[in-house]
Amino acid sequence: MENKNSKIDSRRKFLKNISSGGILAVAGLGLYSASSCKEKSEEKTTLLTTDGKLVQVSNSEIIKMEGMEHHPATPKEAREGIPGQKFVMVVDLAKCKNAKKCVESCDKHHNLTPDRPYIKVLEMKDNEKSAPYWMPKKCFHCDNPPCVKVCPVGATFKRTDGLVLIDNERCIGCRFCMAACPYSARVFNWGAPPNVDENLAYSPETSLPNKIGTVSKCDFCPDMLRKGKLPHCVPACPNGVIYFGNELDDTVTNGEETVRLSTLLKEKAGYRFMEELGTKPRVYYLPPVDRLFPFESDTKENVKS
C-alpha cells in the first residue's frame, strides 16, 4: 500500500523516502496500488517493479490479478494473521477538523447506525489552559489486549499481524471485554442489527453480517488489508489524518503520502493514548500542534454528519 497515484509534492516526499530507505523497495514488491478513491482512467499510478524501479502506469492498464480476489476469511481462517505484516496506525491530530468522513465510511462498510459507530471523533481537552482538539478514536488493537485476556471462550483474539478481532459466531455476549477495555472501543449488538444481508457469508474479517447479542468493534478492515488495500477510514479522510501501514516495513501511508513510521513518530513526537495502562496500543497519535484548522465546536450539522 505504499505506492500511490498522487499530487506532485506527495510523490516527491514519497520518492525521498524511497531513496532514504532500501527496505521500502523490498516491501513494495508485488503489492499494487492501494488507491481506492481516485479511479479515473486518465490518472496514473506509480508502481514498483520487481527490480526496484518506479514506473508510472495508466490506471486503465491495470488489470485485476487472477487469484487476488479473496473470499471473506472464514472464522477459522481469520484467526491466522496476514504473514509478514504488523499493522500500525498513526493519527495526526494536527490535521483533524472533525469532518467525520472516516466515521461515515466506516459506518457504511460495517453496516452501522450513526448512534453506535466504531470510530468516534472525540472532543478532547487535556487541561484547563490547553486548547481543545479532535481525537478520532478506534480500536487500538493493543499488543497486550485486556479484552482478549478476559474473554471466556476465545471469541476475541490477537493475530500475528497485530489485529484484535472478534468471532461473532463464538461470542456468548457476556460483555466482559467491554468492561475490560479501558478505551470503550467496543460496541454491542443490543438489538437485531438493521439491514442485515443474510446471504453474506460471515467473516470476522468483515465483521459482517452483524450478529445480535454479540460484541463488535473496529477491525482495521482486514478484508481490505488482504487485498493490499487500506482500511476504509484512511482514504475517506479528506485531510490525510490517518496513516496506516506495516511496522515491519517501517512505512505508513495516509493514501497521499507514504512516510517512514519511525521518522514520523520521532519528528512529530508520536505518543500512544494512556501509555501508563501498559496495553501497548498499535495506534499512535501525533500531538495537535501547528494545526491546519482552527478548532470549531461540534455544531448540530456535523454531529448529524
Partner 1 sequence: MRKIDIKQQKFETPREKDLLRHLISTSLKYKLWIGLLIAINLVGMYAYYRQVRFGLIVTAMRDYTSWGIYISNFVFFVAISLVGSLFSSILKLNNNVWAKPLIRVSEIIAVSAIICAAVIIIIDMGRPDRFFYVITHFRIQSPIIWDVIIISTYLVISFLLLFISILPDIAVCRDRLTEIPNWKKRFYRITAINWSNHPKQAERLNKVSKIMGIAVLPVAFAIHTVTSWLFATTWRPGWNSTNLGPYFVSGAFMAGAAAIIFAMYIIRKELKLHAYITEDHFDKMGRLLVLLSLIYLYFNINEYLGPAFKMVGIEGDQLSELFTGQYAIMYWFVQIGGLILPLILLMFKVMRKPFPIFLISLSVVLGAWFKRYLIVIPSLQHTYVPIQQVDESYLHYIPTWEEWAITISSFASLLLLITILIKLFPVIPIKSEEHDSETIVEPNIK
Tell me how far apart the alpha carbons of residues 76 and 213 are, in angstroms, rounded to a whole number. 21
Quick one: 176 or 295, whose CB is closer to partner 1?
176
Q: Does residue 75 belong to the site contacting partner 1 (CB under 8 A)?
A: no
Q: Which of 26, 153, 269, 292: binder of partner 1 (CB under 8 A)?
A: 153
**Least separation, in Å, of the C-beta of 212 and partner 1?**
5
Total of residues contacting partner 1 (CB under 8 A): 45
150: exposed, middle or buried (C-beta count within 10 Å: 0-12, 13-18, 19+)?
middle
Site for partner 1 in 214-233 (CB under 8 A): 214-215
Which region among 13-21, 34-42, 212-220, 239-247 touches partner 1 (by CB under 8 A)? 212-220
Q: Residues 227, 284, 106, 204: is their CA dihedral positive or negative? A: positive
**Least separation, in Å, of the C-beta of 283 and partner 1?**
13
Which region among 42-50, 52-60, 77-85, 113-121 touches partner 1 (by CB under 8 A)? 113-121
- Distinct helix (H) and strand (E) counts, the chain: 9, 13
Q: Which of 15, 23, 68, 122: binder of partner 1 (CB under 8 A)?
A: 122
272: exposed, middle or buried (C-beta count within 10 Å: 0-12, 13-18, 19+)?
middle
Q: How far is CA 259 from CA 164, 246, 269, 294, in A?
A: 25, 11, 15, 25
**Least separation, in Å, of the C-beta of 170 and partner 1?**
6
- Take residue 81 and report the three cell numbers written for it: 494473521
Q: Which of 18, 47, 91, 151: binder of partner 1 (CB under 8 A)?
A: 151
Q: Which of 20, 60, 84, 190: binder of partner 1 (CB under 8 A)?
A: 190
Q: DSSP secondary structure string, 206-271?
A: TTBS--TTSEE-----HHHHHTT---THHHH-TT--EEEEETTTTEEE-SS-EEEHHHHHHHTT-B
Q: Does residue 150 belong to the site contacting partner 1 (CB under 8 A)?
A: yes
Residue 47, number of CB atoms within 10 A of its CB: 18
Under 8 Å between Cβ of 106 and 119 = yes
Q: Does residue 196 belong to the site contacting partner 1 (CB under 8 A)?
A: no
Q: Does residue 178 belong to the site contacting partner 1 (CB under 8 A)?
A: yes
Which residues of this chain interact with partner 1, rule CB under 8 A?
Answer: 115-117, 120-124, 137, 146, 149-155, 170-176, 178-180, 182-184, 186-192, 212-215, 274, 277, 298, 303
